[in-house]
Structure 1
Amino acid sequence: MSTSSSAAFDAGRGPAEHDVRTQIIEAATAHFSHYGYDKTTVSDLAKAIGFSKAYIYKFFASKQAIGEVICTNCLAQIEGEVHAALEGVQAPPDRLRVLFTVIVEASLRLFLQDRRLYEIAVAAATDQWSSTQAYKGRIRQLIEEILKEGRASGVFERATPLEATSHAVYQVLVPYLNPVTLPHLSALHAESPTALQDLVLRSLAPQRK
């Protein structure tokens, strides 16, 4: 598949809340889920919805632009679960555990339960769509915020530069954020779901003198 990473995220034309845009997204989600992203063209979507291809292009610049919105909706679902789970969790180590647990389980469930829509996630990751890049940036920022909280309260070490630490912790999560590698990790996660959490938290603990 050849999709351009330079295509603007949600290159939609017309108001985002427009009923027609919503109708196109809903129809595209159903069509991709049934036939797959790779095998679906804008012409196919136009026929399924009952619009002309030219009319769809009034709202979206390309098939990828439609895929970007669907991908963003899926990633927002994962983020919503993460933030809901973090509510009321105060201790930074516990917050980090919750982040790891929920983001891994939500990603596995969402991306692997629908094999057809999973193709969109693979395309987004492979071609580095802006929706996935923005999502990764927000997860990286959330990790850094938790690390700052832990350093301020004295439960995490402060000798290593914060940027280096947050990057290292984020890298541990990267395979679970990437739908290309995700299927190969599901069995490992099922065997020992807290192994990565334990390893990361041990590395973050202050050194005893």
Structure 2
Amino acid sequence: MMNDLQESPVDGQRGPADHNIREQIIAAAYDHFAHYGYGKTTVSDLAKAIGFSKAYIYKFFDSKQAIGEAICSNFLSEIIVTLEESVSSGRSATEKFRIMAETLTDTGVFLFSNDRKLYDIAIHSCTEKWSSSLKYIENIEHILARIILEGRESGEFERKTPLDETCRAIMGAMKPFVNPVMLQYNLDDLPRDKNEMISLVLRSLAP
């Protein structure tokens, strides 16, 4: 996932936006985090591993979090792209919601099972409310709102409840399967809980 790292305008970055040294730092930091973990790594550790001075790294990032933000922003953006592509394949709003919920859950489970260090960064992003995490949730909310509106226009979903209230309630229902902190404690009861949540939400949306 991280082989083709792309630039993302996130908090804490300094210097030219397209500087290739920034890309080198991000890629090397990801490799270091993947081996040692985000929480146990310092900027000094990264400087030694990358071969740059600590001061030089600070020319591009103002903190370790800023580097983590760049990594997090990249892979969360990739998830959103995948989510958009998956949802677009749905033939109805009902099917699109089901695909959305399943894709988000499956992506989280895949990260937890196959890239625990990256999952660790996602947990930090969520618990510390990094801008990358907040933007990710905002993007999910926008996709959800589009699905709800499509379902209302097609007659699949009820129209009485205010859209913002409907989206908040559904995001709350999906939180145990979208929030990485919560998802790791719900793995034993997947996919039953996920399927029950999807069915419950779709019943609540019925006209």
Please give the TM-score of this superposition, normalised by the length of structure 2.
0.90
Tell me the SS of whatever aligns to 1:184: coil
Deviation at 1:48, TM superposition (A): 0.6
Tell me the SS of whatever aligns to 1:99: helix
Residue identity matched to 2:48: K
Residue identity matched to 1:149: E
Whether the 8 Å CA contact 2:89–2:96 is kept in 1: the answer is no
Percent identity, aligned pairs only, is 47
Residue identity matched to 1:115: R
Alignment partners' CA distance in 2, 1:168 and 1:91: 21
Matching residue of 1:87? 88
Residue 41 of structure 2 is aligned to residue 36 of structure 1: no
Deviates more, 1:25-34 or 1:108-117: 108-117
Alignment partners' CA distance in 1, 2:67 and 2:113: 21
Alignment partners' CA distance in 1, 2:204 and 2:58: 51
Whether the 8 Å CA contact 2:72–2:121 is kept in 1: the answer is yes
Deviations 1:41-63 (A, max 9, x none): 10111111110000000000100
Deviates more, 1:123-132 or 1:186-195: 186-195
Whether the 8 Å CA contact 1:112–1:183 is kept in 2: the answer is no
Deviation at 1:114, TM superposition (A): 2.0
Matching residue of 2:6? none
Whether the 8 Å CA contact 1:121–1:179 is kept in 2: the answer is yes
* Paired residues for 1:181-192 under 5 Å: 181-191=182-192
* Paired residues for 1:9-158 under 5 Å: 9-158=10-159
Deviations 1:135-175 (A, max 9, x none): 11111111111101111111101111111111111111112
Matching residue of 1:4? none
Deviates more, 1:70-79 or 1:191-200: 191-200
Residue identity matched to 2:25: I
The answer for unaligned runs of 5 or more in structure 2 is: 1-8
Residue identity matched to 2:21: V
Deviation at 1:193, TM superposition (A): 4.1
Alignment partners' CA distance in 2, 1:16 and 1:28: 18
Alignment partners' CA distance in 1, 2:161 and 2:188: 33
Alignment partners' CA distance in 1, 2:96 and 2:137: 18
Deviation at 1:192, TM superposition (A): 5.1
Whether the 8 Å CA contact 1:111–1:118 is kept in 2: the answer is yes
Whether the 8 Å CA contact 1:9–1:65 is kept in 2: the answer is yes
Whether the 8 Å CA contact 2:111–2:118 is kept in 1: the answer is no
Deviation at 1:16, TM superposition (A): 2.8
Superposed CA RMSD: 1.5
